[in-house]
Amino acid sequence: MQKIELSNNQYRLLLQLAFLGVEMIDNAALGDEEGDEEESQLMNEAIDLEHFLIAQHKKFGVKDIVEINEDEDEMVYKPEFLEECKFIANSAYMNKAAEIASFQMGIRDFKEVNGQEALEKLSPEKGVDNLMSYSSKYLEEIFENGFANFYLRNAAPSKIITFS
């Protein structure tokens, strides 16, 4: 076994990263399907690592991050630390959702103005520049007002978008 020395600040950051990693794996729904043993293993190993790191809290004197839950006799994050981590995670999810939504609406608007054929002929290099002029207004709207002003303008079926 090798040893790694961490400062208190590095340990705090490592705990935060461990929490965010477990959050990311959990929200990606990895391991939710039967037969996804590899993904379930990733989640289990991430949780085990997080618990191992939490157990080291006394060595680093971080009484403001971890506390003992007397009812369940386990170590848990203090509410302030959880709130900070969840704020980071929620901000990341909101930013990614805004990016995806604005890009998809920009594609839609570009296609309405220029046609499907023009969209298909866009090179990746020019595509981003051409689509950004259509997408940026939506991105600005989302960052100013969230999704409060967005609505579906027809009853067309929605599509599920996947990214690789």
Tokens of 32: 């939710």
* Pair 125, 88: CB distance under 8 Å: no
Locate 17 and state its tokens: 């990263």
How many CB atoms neighbour CB 9 within 10 A? 10
* Cross-strand bridge partners of residue 77: 66
Contacts of 95 (CB under 8 A, 6+ apart): none
Q: Which of 65, 63, 136 is nearest to 105 (CA)?
A: 136
pLDDT recorded at residue 150:
78
**Of 30, 21, 144, which is closest to residue 89 (Cα–Cα)?**
21
Question: What is the residue-level pLDDT of the chain in tens, covering all 164 positions?
Answer: 888 899 999 999 999 999 999 999 988 875 455 556 666 889 999 999 999 999 999 899 888 899 888 877 788 899 999 999 999 999 999 899 999 999 999 999 999 999 999 888 888 878 888 888 899 999 999 989 888 887 766 666 655 555 54
Helices (H), the chain: 8-27, 37-55, 57-60, 79-114, 116-121, 124-145
Residue extents of the structural domains in the chain: 8-77, 93-145
Res 31: pLDDT: 46
CA-based end-to-end distance of the chain: 36
Residue 28 has what pLDDT?
A: 80
Whole-prediction pTM: 0.71
| Dihedral angle computed from the Cα positions of residues 51, 52, 54 and 57, in that order, rounded to the nearest 10 degrees | 160
